[in-house]
Amino acid sequence: MNLSNHSKKSKARRPDSGFSLVEVTIAMAIAAVAVATLMGLIPQGITTMREAGDEAIIGRIHQQILNELQMADFDALDTYNNMEVYFDDQGEELSDSKNQGAAQDERKKGAFAHVYTARISVPAQGNSMPPSVGGAGFAGVSFDNKVTVNPLLRSVIIEVAAVAGLGGDFDWSSEEHRRLIKIYQTNVAKMGRAFQ
C-alpha cells in the first residue's frame, strides 16, 4: 500500500472542524446586540409591571370604598366627607385606619405598611369640590333640564394615591403630588325602605 495515497485519502475524508475567527466574531457581535437590546427593555418592563399593579390595587381600593358607601346609611354619608383611609401594598385597609389613635404604630399613616391613601369627598349642595377635580362650587345632582337637585342622589369623589416612600407627607393639593392621584366620581342613591 502506498503511504502517500493513504495520506491523501485520509485528508480528503476528514472534514474541517470548528469555526473561523471571523465567524465567531460575527456571532458574538450579533449576540451582544441582542443582549443589549433585551437589557434595555428590562427597566421599561419593570416600570410597566409596577404601574399595572398600582392600577389594579387602586381600582380595588376604589371599589371597596364605594361598596362601603353604598351600604352606609344614606343620611349619614356626610360623616365620610374628607375622610382619609390608609391601605397596605395589597390594597387591604390598615387596621383601624379611620381611628388613628387605636392603631398599632406600624399600621398608621406614614408607617412602612402604608402604601396607598384614599380620600373620600361627599360634597353637599353649595360646598366646593376637591381641588383635584377643579375645586368649583357644587350645585347638587340633577337629571332634568330644569336643574332641579335630586335629594335621593349624592355625589361621591374617591381619590386614591400611591404614596409609598412619601410617608405621612402627602399633600392632596400639591401640584407635585397631583399626578399620583387617581380620581373616581360617582353617585350614591338612596335605596330600599329609606327610599319611601
User: Residue 157 is placed in which grid cell?
Assistant: 369623589
Residue 3 falls within a domain, yes or no? no
Separation between Cα atoms, residue 89 and residue 117, nearest integer Å: 11
| Residue closest to 114 by CA, chosen among 178, 162, 174, 184 | 162
Domain total in the chain: 1
The verdict on pTM exceeding 0.85 is no
Residue 87 falls within a domain, yes or no? yes
* Structural domain range at position 95: 20-195
Do the Cβ atoms of 94 and 108 come closer than 8 Å? yes
What tens digit of pLDDT does each residue of 70-81 get?
888 888 888 888
| Residue count of the chain | 196
Spatial CB neighbours of 87, under 8 Å, sequence gap ≥ 6: 57, 61, 93, 94, 97, 114, 115, 116, 117, 118
Mean pLDDT of 102-125: 73
Residue 42 falls within a domain, yes or no? yes
Residue 187 falls within a domain, yes or no? yes
> How buried is residue 115: exposed, middle or buried, by Cβ count under 10 Å (0-12/13-18/19+)?
buried
Mean pLDDT of 163-183: 78
What tens digit of pLDDT does each residue of 27-46 get?
999 999 999 999 988 888 89
Residue 14 falls within a domain, yes or no? no
pLDDT at 196: 47
Residue 15 falls within a domain, yes or no? no
Separation between Cα atoms, residue 69 and residue 99, nearest integer Å: 17
Residue 141 falls within a domain, yes or no? yes
Residue 91 falls within a domain, yes or no? yes
